[in-house]
Structure 1
Amino acid sequence: MFARERYDIILELLNREGKVIVKDLSSRFNVTEDCIRKDLRYLENNNFLKRTYGGAIPIRKTAHYNKISDRRSANVREKLIIAKKAFDLIEDDETIFLDISTTNIMLAELLSKSDKKVTVITNMIDIISVLNMENNIKVISTGGVLSKDLNGYACSMTIDVISNYKFNKAFIGSCGVDLYDNSVTTFEVEDGNTKKAIMRNSKVVYIVMDNSKFYFGGTYKFAHFEDIDVIVTDKIPSDQIVGIMKKNDVNII
């Protein structure tokens, strides 16, 4: 097998498993461990991975900032899986908060088609539009200064309103998590501060995000793993990531 072929397989394994081990790769390709170390060094020098003791892990990347309107058409299948999982977590007579998130728009659509009787508090206009005609759902809007990029409210006025409520469950959007410092991220400072206020007032905090966001993130840290209870995602990530979350008492579903 040529080195270029090994590179492709190594990167495929890395993306799927979250890490690779020199000893395992040596056995898989039937080459020496020194040969594998040379492969990993080449891939690291070309910014494909980061070498660790005995193996390698993916390089963490910063996600591209996009307006909410541009995000709606991305990863639709994955978001629907997440929305269905979140929907099953909601019970009658609960008060829930749906944060600014394109996944939460899909969750609102599922609620609108159900007979669940819940109170939904939200700072996102799209969610208000989906739920405003449903008699079984009481909708409370936070109001505030409109962010056109987010199509929702994220400001000090919004935070003041949020502080007056208590939620059984909050479903929070995120640009990704950082496994190296145990943080949860977004892009906008005001959006992040608003998320903090939501989390402070919720009994259970769910982060809704697709699996790719375990490897990408935003630029503003609004929480740490200790602040959240569950990550709702489309598929369970690598054992390495599950282990990190377990150490921080965060469940993944």
Structure 2
Amino acid sequence: MFAEERHRLIGGMLADYGKVTVADLSGRFGITRETVRRDLAQLESTGLLRRVHGGAVATSKASTTEESHTVRTSRHFAEKRRIAQRALDLLPHGPVSAVLDAGTTTELLAEAMVDRIPGQRAAEILAVTHALPIANRLAASPDFQLELVGGRIRGLTSAAIGARAVEQFQAMRPDIAFLGTNGVHYEFGLSTPDVLEAAVKSAIVRCARRVVVLADSSKFGEEAFVRFGTLNEIDALVTDRAPQGALAAALERADVEVLVA
């Protein structure tokens, strides 16, 4: 097989799976690993991929890559909606304070709260968020108590970031926090592409009595640029498919409750 044909096939695999390994490509094409590495180096020079340990990932999978709110909302929408509906069951009854982190799945949770929680119960909920889209969702109901954490607004996520937001969360002790994440990795933990957004997420993780992560299964095994929490720091993971392999084992060791929607 000519190199050009291999390169085309590698491009197709990256489009389908987001990553390739040197071992798999060597076996698939019947070539040496050194030849595979040369192929990957050539493709990296064209911008098609980024080499990582043991293989390569699509450039869209780079650790600092972050899609727009519109793209993220449409991606895996059905799974995210199911996750949000399931997460609603974790909201305690009675007077409760709940942080909703920035994210498309947590935004769907806010929508579910407005749609499904009756006025009398909603009046007992103090919802805290630093995300403008979530605040707008919750503000549609006159019943919820709403606390908006401020700071500089990051355009890509419409969420407050910076020292002011971090300090406000550090001064709180909410009953429960619902967090979004860009990656759930068995070693690296929870991560996001932006340093300032990670600082806010870390503050939320450390301030809440109970931490619940909402993540569809496309986030499994992913590592974004900045870690904001370890698996040992979370209490529950709500997802659309049961984790497998090393991630499942790591979650069990960390005593994380996994809920499949």
Q: Normalising to structure 1: TM-score of the pair?
A: 0.75
Structure 2 CA distance for partners of 1:41 and 1:167, relative to 1, 3 Å: same
Q: Which residue of 1 aligns with 2:200?
A: 194
Aligned with residue 128 of structure 2, among 121, 124, 136: 121
Q: Are residue 42 (structure 1) and residue 27 (structure 2) matched?
A: yes
Per-residue deviation, 1:77: 0.5
* Aligned alpha-carbon RMSD (Å): 2.4
> What is the percent sequence identity of the aligned residues?
24
Q: Which residue of 2 aligns with 1:68?
A: 69
Q: Are residue 218 (structure 1) and residue 218 (structure 2) matched?
A: no
Structure 2 CA distance for partners of 1:43 and 1:248, relative to 1, 3 Å: farther
Q: Normalising to structure 2: TM-score of the pair?
A: 0.72
Unaligned runs of 5+ in 1: 1-10, 16-37, 48-57
Q: How does 1:4-19 map to 2 (within 5 A)?
A: none
Aligned with residue 110 of structure 1, among 112, 137, 142: 112
Q: Which residue of 2 aligns with 1:149?
A: 156
Q: Which residue of 1 aligns with 2:174?
A: 167
Structure 2 CA distance for partners of 1:60 and 1:127, relative to 1, 3 Å: farther
In structure 2, how many angstroms separate the alpha carbons of the residues matched to 1:40 and 1:247? 33
Unaligned runs of 5+ in 2: 1-12, 18-22, 38-53
Runs of 4+ in 1 over 4 A off after TM superposition: 38-41, 43-47, 58-61
Provide the secondary structure at the position in 2 that maps to 1:89.
coil
Q: Are residue 183 (structure 1) and residue 189 (structure 2) matched?
A: yes
Structure 2 contact 161–197 (Cα < 8 Å) conserved: yes
One-letter amino acid of the counterpart of residue 135, structure 1: P
Per-residue deviation, 1:164: 2.2
Query: Alpha-carbon deviations, 1:44-67, whole Å to 9, x = none?
Result: 9569xxxxxxxxxx9795464212
Structure 2 CA distance for partners of 1:68 and 1:217, relative to 1, 3 Å: farther
Structure 2 CA distance for partners of 1:190 and 1:218, relative to 1, 3 Å: same
Structure 2 CA distance for partners of 1:43 and 1:198, relative to 1, 3 Å: farther
One-letter amino acid of the counterpart of residue 160, structure 1: E
Per-residue deviation, 1:216: 2.0
Q: How does 1:124-135 map to 2 (within 5 A)?
A: 124-135=131-142
Q: Are residue 205 (structure 1) and residue 206 (structure 2) matched?
A: no
Structure 2 CA distance for partners of 1:94 and 1:59, relative to 1, 3 Å: farther
Q: Which residue of 2 aligns with 1:82?
A: 83
